Amino acid sequence: MSQFMSPSSPWPAHGGQAEALLAHFGLPADHRLEDFSANLNPLGPPAWVSDWLAKQLAGLERYPAPDYAAARQAIATHHQLQPEHVLLTNGGAEAIFLAAALHAGKRAAVITPSFGEYARACRAHGLSISEIALPAPDFTLDVDSLTAGLSDIDVLFLCRPNNPTATLIDMSAMEDLLNNTAAIGCRVVVDEAFIDMVGETSQEASLAPLLARYPHLMLLHSMTKFYTLPGLRLGYLLADVTTVQAAQDHQPPWSVNHLAAELVAPLLADDAFARRTQRWLASERPRMAQALTQLGLEVVPSQACFFLIRPSAAQEITTDALFEQLLRQGILVRHSHNFAGLNGEWLRVALRDEPDNRRLVNVLKKELHDCLR
């Protein structure tokens, strides 16, 4: 996987990658940066995780049990499903690539703007790709026009809530879409990587209860965002039994390491951490939505742990200039040059804890004010 969009591009292909950006903008390698570019829960990982991992190290001397029974049972219980509907994966990223592998050589549709790995996984597995654009600035999806574009498509990839727009297709629109796609024989893959960040009702927000009614639906999950464990790699796929077995056939053996697999059940049992995260979201997200809007920025209403923003026409600063000024002020946000449909015009900023968020707003305020002088 390349670190950059292209060999000559200054823009990294993913969030983070501060070193390369600092070098490009002529800033010292030790320039202090707060990372608003990665959409991770600022409250995690749960405090007990490091001690707990240390105690599991002896298990590294053995291969993990290939069926990951305890982890799959914990996930199944969490979603009120049977373990046969669960495949544990090496991050949500592996689940995306397995979903593409299942449709190798067929025709896929992806939404733009959305997470770029769907298209990359499809290319890797020889699928042809049609892009279906969500219109700026509200990026809402119209089910009827989407369905009209799916008549010769085998599999549709959707992200819910969507990265990078933070918009959520509501449940009734999803049911309409699932009915329409069932009728035309188009598989629907929904990436729920950020579903736990929707809010108080995140359990209800997942489409997992619909799996029994719609066997052409597949759900992809990440456990790295909510629990702040991207380095550990942990995710899963939910689908009907046949699809789970077929996906497993494409998965390398022992794809999920012992530490990650053993951690699933205790993570899902940590209700206090989940409640604390929901309280943070319930207070910081509306506060930040208001604060960013009051700065005169365009702000896409968010149902996730990040915001898509851009300077409004009245603000005499380009998005790239704002990105650079923020970097100089010690704030790293996510550029949008490699999100199809955004053309670099927007910035994605993660929601962090209250002091960090306040600092972001203060720096933005100063930069937007200075550009008017």
Ligand X SMILES: Cc1ncc(COP(=O)(O)O)c(C=O)c1O
Binding site for ligand X (CB under 6 A): 91-93, 115, 159, 163, 191, 193, 222, 224, 230, 235
Residue 30 beta carbon to ligand X: minimum distance, rounded to whole angstroms: 26
Nearest to residue 306, comparing CAs of 56, 115, 141? 115
DSSP-derived letter for residue 53 is H
Query: Considering beta carbons, is residue 291 or 300 the nearer one to ligand X?
Result: 300
Largest Cα–Cα separation, the chain: 64
- Structural element, H or E, at residue 159: strand 155-159
> Six-digit token pair at 92?
């949500």
Under 8 Å between Cβ of 365 and 294: no
Residue 2 beta carbon to ligand X: minimum distance, rounded to whole angstroms: 16
Residue 92 beta carbon to ligand X: minimum distance, rounded to whole angstroms: 3
Residue 366 beta carbon to ligand X: minimum distance, rounded to whole angstroms: 30
Q: What is d(CA 298, CA 114) in angstroms, rounded to the nearest whole number?
A: 19
Q: Which residue is nearest to ligand X (CB)?
A: 91
Query: Considering beta carbons, is residue 64 or 116 the nearer one to ligand X?
Result: 116
Query: Considering beta carbons, is residue 72 or 367 the nearer one to ligand X?
Result: 72
Query: Considering beta carbons, is residue 143 or 256 the nearer one to ligand X?
Result: 256
Query: Considering beta carbons, is residue 291 or 308 the nearer one to ligand X?
Result: 308
DSSP bridge partners of 222: 235
Query: Considering beta carbons, is residue 156 or 368 the nearer one to ligand X?
Result: 156
- 240 CB-side CA count, 13 A: 12
Under 8 Å between Cβ of 256 and 224: no
Sheet holding 298-299, edge to edge: 298-299, 306-310, 347-350
Residue 7 beta carbon to ligand X: minimum distance, rounded to whole angstroms: 23
Residue 190 beta carbon to ligand X: minimum distance, rounded to whole angstroms: 11
In terms of Cβ atoms closer than 10 Å to its own Cβ (0-12, 13-18, 19+), residue 298 is middle
Query: Considering beta carbons, is residue 102 or 193 the nearer one to ligand X?
Result: 193
Alpha helices in the chain (DSSP H): 18-24, 49-55, 69-79, 91-101, 117-124, 143-148, 171-184, 202-205, 241-250, 258-269, 271-294, 319-328, 354-370
Residue 368 beta carbon to ligand X: minimum distance, rounded to whole angstroms: 28
